[in-house]
A and B are shown apart, each in its own frame.
Chain A
């Protein structure tokens, strides 16, 4: 009886599914798949991504090399899997750091107001005064191209966005009575910010996080394309694209495949981001 009605509910859910809800689900599926496969790259990749085979260079797709080989005869699929792993790890950690630091700064600026606010937000303005990619580019150039520096550079690029999003609601929240009464009860500022403001701010921040993870991954690809990514021979998607560009006329797939790998990761994140935002803010219901 019960399973029967459950089945019915499930089918009516599937068939009444808004095409866009379906797309959000698709985004989640693609992203999870890419995440699992790329994290398991050392196990699932058919070849060692660094193993050169000059005799087998610039091969097209075959049953041995599903996505062909590059100029050193390295297996493209294996390199894409390892490159995606680096992209995802760098993208997720840098967004995570930006989220924590940016939200913290935004709440502190909004909560204390006055000079704290002015100084912190001016700093954010300074960071925003550079075109997105340029900030990251300069920081990596100065600090050097190791993975940690790249993470720091991307995190600093994204940080002002989180700070702004967290600051605005903090300012309205701190005027509310319950915050006043917390103060009257002698709660410490840290406690008020952490226990009473953070939970009210975090929703909005998290919605945007998936969209900014997409930006982070894009920036990582751009940096490694420019030559400021994780240093070769470690495979990165941007680096593979750059290298393939030299033989673009004869062997376009060497650039195209990693290019589409970046696109799919970013697309999946954008699908999720749109879906989450619509779910949290139904009034905007598919408005953007």
Chain B
């Protein structure tokens, strides 16, 4: 197991290395002078020069690249060009909010999506199925900010149950409470995606030979559904949920804007506006790392459902 994890991490090293290089290059080919962008037009030539010196912008690009790598190797993402604070610290401060949001949404998506999708499959070609399919299709077509706005209008304004804007300093209980609306807005979309996958996966499984074998044994229907079919159907669902996690992490940017919620998304938008390139660079690396981690977790989750998977 530990060996498997290590191997998986090692095998993603080339990709991560590519990510680092790409991010470095993108940030360096930015049209315009970062010093000018950050210090403003009326900064003195001296100040500009000092800034470039401090940020290492005067060195040749390959040297910048090497010191970029050296810095990463020492476990630092560098300092913000704007505030001068360490990027890593700034990321760590908001990361929990984004993680809460996406994990909550994932939770909602699985809790509602899997049963609904299977219900739809069990009632294939009845009005239940048609309704579920139409609803999930509408669900995946909903832009995530729209669902957020609709939820705000319904549950924060028409029926004021939940706060619109969360306060980052809250206690655990109230931060959970603050999480409900933003989490639901992402979670409903996730539900729609999971429903579609669960339905098709269950239908595929239910026509497998081993389900016929189970019936031939006189196995009661509910046991066929939960023991024989569901466990097999979960395997492809795990794959797809892993893929959609990337979508969820990306879309959390929008949710954080609409709900004015702290998180990686708010931070990246802020850094974009301030042209804080070192912060952007660090954030991109964190995002890529999260995706790699999600893939690893997905692979490990298979083992829970599928005995054919071995970690060696």
Decide if A and B touch, CB cutoff 8 A: yes
When the two chains form their complex, are residues A126 and B22 in contact, meaning their CB atoms are under 8 A apart? yes
Q: How far is the CA of A272 from the CA of B250 in the complex (A)?
A: 25
Asked if A228 and B272 make an inter-chain contact with CB atoms under 8 angstroms apart, the answer reads yes
Determine whether the beta carbon of B254 is less than 8 Å from that of A270.
no
Interface core residue of A134, A218, A259 (most chain B CB under 10 Å): A134
The answer to whether A131 touches B280, judged by C-beta atoms less than 8 angstroms apart, is no
Contact between chains at A137 and B141 (CB < 8 Å) = no
B179 at the interface (CB under 8 A from A): no
Chain A contributes a number of interface residues (CB within 8 A of B) equal to 49
CB contact list, B288-306 vs A, under 8 A: 288, 290-292
* Minimum CB–CB distance for B223 against chain A, Å: 24
Interface pair A130/B284, CB less than 8 Å apart: yes
Docked Cα-Cα span, A285 to B258, in Å, equals 39
B27 / chain A contacts, CB cutoff of 8 Å? 142
Q: Which residues of B contact A286 (CB under 8 A)?
A: 124-125, 133
Q: Which residues of A contact B43 (CB under 8 A)?
A: none
> With a CB–CB cut-off of 8 A, which chain A residues contact B142?
263
Tell whether A259 pairs with B145 under 8 Å between CB atoms, given A122-B18, A252-B153: yes
Contact of B258 among A19, A20, A245, A271 (CB under 8 A): A245
Q: How far is the CA of A267 from the CA of B141 in the complex (A)?
A: 5
Across the interface, do A259 and B250 meet the contact criterion of CB distance under 8 Å?
no
Q: Does B111 contact A (CB under 8 A)?
A: no
Residues A130 and B272 in contact in the complex (CB < 8 Å), given A19-B130, A138-B26, A245-B258: no
Bitwise interface map of B from 109 to 150 toward A, beta carbon under 8 Å scored 1, else 0: 000000000000000110000100110011011111110011
Residue among B124, B137, B199, B287 making CB contact with A131, cutoff 8 Å: B287
**In the bound complex, how far is the Cα of B156 from the Cα of A249, in angstroms?**
10
Complex CA–CA separation, A221 to B146 (angstroms): 11
CB-based contact A225/B203 at 8 Å: no
Fill in one digit per residue for B244-282: 1 if any A CB lies within 8 Å of its CB, else 0.
001111110110011000000000110011000000100
Instruction: Encode contact with B along A113-137: 1 for CB under 8 Å, 0 otherwise.
Output: 0000000001101101111111001
Tell whether A139 pairs with B26 under 8 Å between CB atoms, given A144-B31, A259-B146, A262-B146: yes
Partner of B143, one of A221, A249, A284, A287: A221
* A271 pairs with B137, CB closer than 8 A: yes
Q: Do the beta carbons of A256 and B292 come within 8 Å of each other? A: no
Partner of A259, one of B149, B273, B292: B149
Contact across chains for A288 and B19 when beta carbons are under 8 A apart: no
Asked if A23 and B134 make an inter-chain contact with CB atoms under 8 angstroms apart, the answer reads yes
* Total A-B Cβ pairs within 8 A: 139
B-contact bits for A237-269, CB 8 A (1 contact / 0 none) = 000010001001100100110011011001100
Check if A166 is an interface residue, CB within 8 A of chain B.
no
Q: Does B140 lie within 8 Å of A270, measured CB to CB?
A: yes
Number of contacting residues on B, CB 8 A? 58
Could you tell me the distance in whole angstroms from the C-beta of A118 to the nearest C-beta in chain B? 10
Q: Is there an interface contact between A266 and B141, defined as CB atoms closer than 8 Å? A: yes
Q: Which residue of A is nearest B142, CB measured?
A: A263
Contact A20 B133 (CB under 8 A): yes
Residues of A within 8 A of B26 (CB): 138-139, 142
Q: Which residues of chain B come closer than 8 Å to A19, judged between CB atoms? A: 130
Contact across chains for B130 and A129 when beta carbons are under 8 A apart: no
Does more than half of chain B's interface fall in helix, strand or loop, or is it mixed? helix
Q: Does A111 contact B (CB under 8 A)?
A: no
Interface string of B195-214 (1 = CB under 8 A from A): 01101100110000000000
**C-alpha gap A143/B26 in the complex (Å):** 9
Known: A129-B292, A138-B26. A222 touches B254 (CB 8 A): yes
Q: Is A214 located at the chain interface by the 8 A CB criterion?
A: yes
Residue of A nearest to B27 (CB): A142
Name the distance in Å between B90's Cβ and chain A's nearest Cβ. 17
Pairwise interchain contact B247-A132, C-beta atoms closer than 8 A: yes
Assuming the contacts A134-B268, A137-B268, A218-B143, asked whether A225 and B254 have C-beta atoms less than 8 A apart, the reply is yes
CB contact list, B24-50 vs A, under 8 A:
26-27, 29-31
How far is B132's CA from A288's CA once the two chains are assembled, in angstroms?
11
Q: In A76-126, which residues have CB < 8 Å from any B CB?
A: 122-123, 125-126
Indicate whether B15 reaches chain A with its CB closer than 8 angstroms.
Answer: yes
Contact A130 B153 (CB under 8 A): no
B257, A225: Cβ atoms closer than 8 Å: yes
Residues in B with CB closer than 8 Å to A228 are: 272
User: Which residues of A are interface residues toward B (Cβ below 8 A)?
Assistant: 19-20, 23, 122-123, 125-126, 128-134, 137-139, 141-144, 214, 218, 221-222, 225-228, 241, 245, 248-249, 252, 255-256, 259-260, 262-263, 266-267, 270-271, 274, 284, 286-288
27 A-B pairs within 8 Å (CB atoms) are namely A19-B130, A23-B134, A122-B14, A129-B15, A129-B16, A129-B18, A130-B287, A134-B253, A137-B272, A141-B272, A222-B143, A222-B145, A226-B253, A226-B254, A241-B149, A256-B150, A259-B143, A259-B146, A262-B146, A263-B138, A263-B141, A263-B146, A271-B137, A286-B124, A287-B199, A287-B200, A288-B200
- 9 A-B pairs closest in CB distance: A131-B250, A133-B250, A288-B200, A259-B146, A267-B141, A126-B18, A266-B141, A131-B249, A287-B200
Taking A134-B287, A256-B146 as known contacts, 17 extra A-B pairs with beta carbons closer than 8 A to each other, sorted by chain A number, are A125-B18, A128-B291, A130-B19, A130-B284, A141-B280, A142-B30, A225-B254, A227-B273, A248-B153, A252-B149, A266-B141, A267-B138, A286-B124, A286-B125, A287-B199, A287-B200, A288-B199
